[in-house]
């Protein structure tokens, strides 16, 4: 018998140090905080592998700081992973968010193989489809055996749509399941003892469908895969002694919140090694230990550079800016972002385009959800720092200008409104927000006025496919007049939304594209004003539902801002077990 321990991280998103740069305070997360646990568990198990499941390069202010440095400088995340002795990794969709040159530079300094079986360059391979790790292992009697381990990887095929503006068609993505069958056939010919799938994909539907984003369940069912590491959806698995279609599997959270651990007992038979038993766990990051000293030293230049950038003062605000109620009422922070986006393109318009109404689409990035009760923007009146701007706009999206019709605007808002559960009239304490729809999909349009009827079923699903003839958006108007379906408008959105394809009007070529991140445009907009006093546009509301109440969870600090939703008659009900503050609302 041989004991083999697999350790896995996923969705680190450039969270290296245990520091929350947006709130400027320590955080119990990050690879350096996780590193002591990694070192201890490896020391306990001489036969071990350390693996990463993708989305390790982008997703934090430190990652954004690195993007501004020369490509010749080693990426601090890769330096840390090299120092910890990672054995292999795969690509996630966000590896491309800072562009292909940065990714290629990071891969060039990697001391471990990075694989992907379904992401390729248009003109050839991007990274190997799989790698073989030949590892001598010791059995329970101390006898050494050669063990050949094949490792392959997968990412959502939507990656090339989500990052289309960054990639310019340079990368191709195939569906996960067909790619897996093809690469597993190649691997089988090399007769490995164990095959591990690094699957940057979530756990959802059990049956294969074309274009699956979250394909972990049918992937685990394929012959030839012995172990599966899942990710992408920022969840943890298993909760108890569970497997995926009988295969050992783990999903280790996000930002270094957890470490995936799979302990395998391998039994040698006449036909090779077999998994005799397994135990999979997602261990939370210990809060007590300080950051790993070696990784902290390595990260010091990037960490301090990020802190200096985040603490820079840009302007003053006379009113607080927050996202606590951004999913249930117009929000001043969103109006500020919308204004900055529109102001960026307005001077560039001329001729017929200048005569079209200019609208701006915005969504909250920090609105709780899987990020937990601290995942809200909360900026007090006073100095506006760079970290505040980064909290308002997390991602490195660039601005895109679309020409759309009134009918497409109506359907855009319908797609945004799938965030809400259907609430039958006279319901008491019905859940309001769907857990399966992220807050950043609540992409509303500044410049239009409308009402959302919660009693109606959603018109679209999350893929943007129409599933009903219903309409939740009513009373839609522009400049005081009913919106004409055939009228033309200009709409500012972001590169992710324009490339994603699930919102109406995003299929055609844009009128114009920007090259600077919206976050930087917002910072310049605020700095130019000097003092800001943003106010919500009051352009939308829920349709009245007498006798109906709904439950809405938000951040604990929301209690200080209840007056902003007085029209919903909020009743605080206390904290949920997860730490959210629950309100009863009366639409």
Question: Is residue 24 a contact partner of residue 67, using CB atoms and an 8 Å limit?
Answer: no
Summarised one tens digit per residue, pLDDT across range 113-131 is: 999 999 999 988 999 999 9
pLDDT at position 271: 84
CB–CB of 81/88 below 8 Å?
A: no
As given in the structure block, the two tokens for residue 12 are 């680190």
pTM above 0.75, yes or no: yes
pLDDT band at 290 (very low <50, low <70, confident <90, very high): confident
Instruction: Report how far residue 300's alpha carbon sits from residue 538's, in angstroms, rounded to the nearest whole number.
Output: 45
> pLDDT digit string (tens) for 477-522?
999 999 999 999 999 999 999 987 789 999 889 999 999 999 999 9
Tokens of 354: 């200048």
- Which range has the worst mean pLDDT, 223-232, 263-272, 358-367? 263-272
SS3 string of 498-514? HHHCCCCCCCCCCCEEC
pLDDT, position 547: 97
Residue whose tokens read 């999979």: 280
Q: Report whether pLDDT(416) > 90.
A: yes
Who contacts 111 (Cβ-Cβ below 8 Å, separation ≥6)?
A: 81, 82, 86
Which of 207, 203, 282 has the alpha carbon at shortest distance from 250?
Answer: 282
- Evaluated on CA atoms 399, 402, 406, 410, the torsion sign reads negative
Task: Let me know: does 109 contact 72? Beta carbons within 8 Å.
Answer: no
- Supply φ then ψ for residue 213, to 5 degrees: -85, -45
The C-alpha atoms of residue 586 and residue 334 are separated, in whole angstroms, by 23
pLDDT tens string 208-226: 999 999 999 999 999 999 9
Task: List the domains of the chain with CATH numbers.
Answer: 3-306 (3.60.21.10), 313-543 (3.90.780.10)
**484 token code pair:** 């004409």
Whether 414 has a pLDDT exceeding 80, the answer reads yes
Q: Give DSSP secondary structure letters for 208-255.
A: --TT-SS-HHHHHTSTT--EEEE-SS--EE-SSS--BTTB-EEEE-ST
Cis peptide before 238 (omega within 30 of 0): yes
Element (H, E) at 168: none
CA distance 457 to 222: 36
CA distance 234 to 237: 10
Partners of 469 in the β-ladder: none
CA distance 377 to 292: 29
18: enclosing H helix or E strand: none
Q: Which two tokens stand for residue 555?
A: 């951040």
Share of the chain above pLDDT 70, in %: 100
How many residues are there in the chain?
587
Helices vs strands, H then E, count in the chain: 15, 34
Residue 216, both tokens: 């972990």
Indicate the burial class of 122 (C-beta count within 10 angstroms; 0-12, 13-18, 19 or more). exposed
Using an 8 Å Cβ cutoff, are 328 and 418 in contact?
no
Average pLDDT value for residue range 392-409: 96
Residue 459 pLDDT grade (very low, low, confident, very high; cuts 50, 70, 90) = very high
Distance CA 90, CA 152 (A): 8
Q: Over range 525-543, report the average pLDDT.
A: 96
542: nearest Cα among 467, 465, 481, 475: 475
Instruction: Reply yes or no on whether the pLDDT at 62 is more than 70.
Output: yes
pLDDT grade for 411, boundaries at 50, 70 and 90: very high
Q: Which two tokens stand for residue 395?
A: 């991602």
84 within 8 A of 36, measured Cβ to Cβ: no
Positive or negative torsion for Cα 8, 11, 17, 23: negative
- pLDDT tens, position by position, 227-241: 999 999 999 999 888
What tokens does 394 get? 């997390």
- Distance from C-alpha of 343 to C-alpha of 345, rounded to nearest angstrom: 6
Q: Write down the residue that tokens 């601090």 correspond to.
A: 76
What is the chain's mean pLDDT, rounded?
A: 96
| pLDDT score, position 289 | 67
Average pLDDT estimate for 373-386? 97
* Residue 222: predicted pLDDT: 98
Q: Give the pLDDT band (50/70/90) at residue 73.
A: confident
Cα 306 to the center of its chain, rounded Å: 21
| Residue range 181-213, pLDDT digits in tens | 999 999 999 999 999 999 999 999 999 999 999
Nearest to 338, CA basis, from 320, 356, 325, 326: 326
Does residue 497 sit in helix, strand or coil?
helix
Left (φ > 0), alpha (ψ -120 to 50) or beta: where does 60 sit? beta
Cα–Cα distances in Å, from 106 out to 15, 134, 375, 463? 16, 25, 29, 32
């Amino acid at each position: 018998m041989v004991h083999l321990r697999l350790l896995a991280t996923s969705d680190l998103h450039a969270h290296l140090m245990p520091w929350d740069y947006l709130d400027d305070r320590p955080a119990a997360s990050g690879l350096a905080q996780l590193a002591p646990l990694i070192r201890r568990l490896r020391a306990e198990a001489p036969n071990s592998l350390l693996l990463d499941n993708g989305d390790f390069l982008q997703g934090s202010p430190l990652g954004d700081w690195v993007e501004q440095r020369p490509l010749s400088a080693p990426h601090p995340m890769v330096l840390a992973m090299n120092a910890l002795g990672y054995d292999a990794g795969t690509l996630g969709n966000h590896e491309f968010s800072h562009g292909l040159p940065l990714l290629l530079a990071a891969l060039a300094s990697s001391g471990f193989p990075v694989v992907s079986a379904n992401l390729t360059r248009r003109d050839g391979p991007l990274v190997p489809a799989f790698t073989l790790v030949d590892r001598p292992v010791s059995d329970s009697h101390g006898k050494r055996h050669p063990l050949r381990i094949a490792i392959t990887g997968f990412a959502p095929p939507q990656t090339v749509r989500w990052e289309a503006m960054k990639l310019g068609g340079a990368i191709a993505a195939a569906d996960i399941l067909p790619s897996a069958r093809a690469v597993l056939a190649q691997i089988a010919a090399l007769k490995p003892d164990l095959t591990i799938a690094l699957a940057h994909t979530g756990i959802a539907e059990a049956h294969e469908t074309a274009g699956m984003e979250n394909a972990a369940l049918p992937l685990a069912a394929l012959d030839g895969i012995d172990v599966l590491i899942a990710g992408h959806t920022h969840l943890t698995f298993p909760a108890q002694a569970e497997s995926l279609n009988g295969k050992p599997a783990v999903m280790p959270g996000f930002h270094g919140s957890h470490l995936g651990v799979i302990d395998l007992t391998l039994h040698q038979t006449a036909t090779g090694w077999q998994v005799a038993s397994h135990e999979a766990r997602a261990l939370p990051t210990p809060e007590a230990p300080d950051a790993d000293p070696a990784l902290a030293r390595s990260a010091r230049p990037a960490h301090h550079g990020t802190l200096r950038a985040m603490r820079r003062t840009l302007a003053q605000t006379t009113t607080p800016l927050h996202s606590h109620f951004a999913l249930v009422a117009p929000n001043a922070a969103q109006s500020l972002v919308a204004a900055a986006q529109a102001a960026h393109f307005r001077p560039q318009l001329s001729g017929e385009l200048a005569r079209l109404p200019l609208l701006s689409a915005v969504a909250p990035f920090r609105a709780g959800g899987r990020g937990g009760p601290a995942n809200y923007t909360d900026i007090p009146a006073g100095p506006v720092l760079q970290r505040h701007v980064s909290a308002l706009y997390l991602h490195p999206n660039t601005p895109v200008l679309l020409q759309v019709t009134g009918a497409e605007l109506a359907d855009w808002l319908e797609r945004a409104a799938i965030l809400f559960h259907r609430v039958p009239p006279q319901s008491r304490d019905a859940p309001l927000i769907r857990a399966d729809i992220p807050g950043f999909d609540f992409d509303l349009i500044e410049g239009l006025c409308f009402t959302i009827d919660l009693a109606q079923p959603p018109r679209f699903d999350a893929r943007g496919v129409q599933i009903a003839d219903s309409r939740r958006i009513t009373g839609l108007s522009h400049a005081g007049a009913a919106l004409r379906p055939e009228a033309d408008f200009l709409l500012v959105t972001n590169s992710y939304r324009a490339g994603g394809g699930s919102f109406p009007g995003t299929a055609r070529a844009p009128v114009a594209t920007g090259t600077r991140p919206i976050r930087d445009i917002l910072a310049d907009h605020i700095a130019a004003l000097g003092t800001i006093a943003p106010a919500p546009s009051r352009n939308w509301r829920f349709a009245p539902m007498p006798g109906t109440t709904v439950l809405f969870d938000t951040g604990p600090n929301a209690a200080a801002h209840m007056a902003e939703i007085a029209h919903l008659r909020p009743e605080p009900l206390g904290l949920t077990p997860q730490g959210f503050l629950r309100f009863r609302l009366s639409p």
